[in-house]
Amino acid sequence: MISQTSRYALHILGYLAFRRGDRVTGEEIASATGIPATYLAKILNQLRKSGIVDSQKGWGGGFLLFESALNRPIADVLASIDGAGVVLKTDCLFGLPSCDATNPCPLHPSWELIRNTYHTMLNDTTIGDLTVPRG
């Protein structure tokens, strides 16, 4: 339901949330998450432009998760990476061009429940909730 780039962004943010308050190098993030360094740099740049992380070049530089970002829903992350349309997606699972409560496809009732649960999870889960200790 989400792109590989968004998955990587969530892994990066989980690591930075775990290292809360520390400035961490791209090299360290790549090593800890297994994300290729060039791909990681592009994602971190998008997260920086979205006001989620701060970056500093040079000695003592690296990436830092803004404290204010800890309370942002992960829906914001997905929207910044893949566009708002991904988060708000309401396509018919059966592939019909018109599918709603008044004109449902065979899968509409089940899909609507799953889609609503998914949207709730994206909006209720914060970046701070992604904190997972890594070895």
Residues 8, 14, 19, 20: is their CA dihedral positive or negative?
positive
Q: What is the pLDDT along the chain (135 residues), one digit of tens a residue?
A: 789 999 999 999 999 999 999 999 999 999 999 999 999 999 999 999 999 999 989 888 899 999 999 999 999 999 999 887 766 667 787 788 888 888 889 988 888 898 889 999 999 999 999 986 655
Q: How far apart are CA 59 and CA 102, in angstroms?
A: 61
Q: How far apart are CA 39 and CA 6, in angstroms?
A: 12
Domains defined along the chain, listed by start = 4-130 (1.10.10.10)
Strand bridging mode 62-65 / 53-56: antiparallel
| Stated pTM of the model | 0.86
